[in-house]
Amino acid sequence: MRYRVLRPPYCYRWAVLILTLVTITTFGVAALRGSSAEGAPTATKPVNQGKSTPARATPVTAEVVRHTERPGRVVALTFDDGPDPVYTPQVLDLLSEHDAVATFCMLGSEARRHPELVQEVLARGMRLCDHTVSHDRDLRTRSEQRITAEIVGGWTDLQIAAGRDVPIPYFRAPAGNWSERTSAVAARHGMRSLAWSVDSRDWTLPGAERIVTTVKEGVAPGAVVLLHDGGGEREQTVAALAELLPWLLAQGYELGFP
């Protein structure tokens, strides 16, 4: 069966045409009025002012960083897997006691649970590092969508926990399992991939003295030291830090950032 196409009356079609011309004319006048007196368009606000994704104002490379940002006798301490309500405050107190700074590689899931600790870390002059949302040790094997969700999700969790826009210059892959893809995703979102040059191996719970010895034997100017303030019991790390901080300062080291 053939269906007859119903066409609108001519008067209706003319009405639509006139309405279209009026709309185009109105928008054109509004655009001209929005120009400055000299004829140049007025400045507009940047798109994407919401903090759902990291800002990309400063491009970074996908190179993995294993040294301090300044040369000389400088050491950067980094703490992973927090924030933790028991150990993060103890670590902060020790750092403040010695006028030292450090970088905290936080999990988005923990930042959501303890936003007050994220804010305290920032208030003490420390830096933040995105350690993903859930610490998926096999992240490098996942799809790009999954990798992006973990990295950008962690960044977003830290921003929300901080309660304000804060710089997050680094990304650290869970368990140090980097790949070209994870580093590239982090770089596209303005974060350098942060590794370490000294692994304290505090995560094996070898005892405070063993942690101290491992760091002393491995430290050198420009070193980035891996420690943990979350992810388990960290009494040994806190005890080791209490010994390491005065020793580092006595050796003429300055505590800085990667």
Amino acid 59: pLDDT:
76
Nearest 5°: the CA angle 163, 167, 173 is 105
Which tens digit of pLDDT belongs to each residue from 20-64?
443 444 444 344 344 433 333 333 333 333 344 555 546 788 899
The catalytically annotated residue of 80, 81, 130, 229 is 80
> Two tokens at 132?
């993903």
Which tens digit of pLDDT belongs to each residue from 157-181?
999 999 999 999 999 999 999 999 9
User: At 185, which helix (H) or strand (E)?
Assistant: helix 180-188
Amino acid 60: pLDDT:
87
> Two tokens at 194?
């942060």
The catalytically annotated residue of 114, 131, 135, 228 is 228
Quick one: CA torsion of 230, 122, 196, 229, rounded to 10 degrees?
A: -10
Amino acid 53: pLDDT:
54
Amino acid 107: pLDDT:
98
Which tens digit of pLDDT belongs to each residue from 99-126?
999 999 999 999 999 999 999 999 999 9
DSSP 122-175: HHTT-EEEE--SS--TTGGGS-HHHHHHHHHHHHHHHHHHHTS-----EE--GG
Which tens digit of pLDDT belongs to each residue from 196-246?
999 999 999 999 999 999 999 999 999 999 999 999 999 999 999 999 999
% residues pLDDT > 70 (the chain): 78
DSSP character at residue 53: S
Catalytic (active site) residue 157: no
Give the pLDDT mean for 1-26.
Answer: 40
Residue with tokens 């140090």: 176
Q: Which of 174, 169, 112 is nearest to 147 (CA)?
A: 174
Phi, psi of 95 (to 5 degrees): -60, -45
Catalytic (active site) residue 138: no
Least confident of 49-53, 88-92, 162-166, 249-253: 49-53
CATH topology of domain 64-255: TIM Barrel (3.20.20)
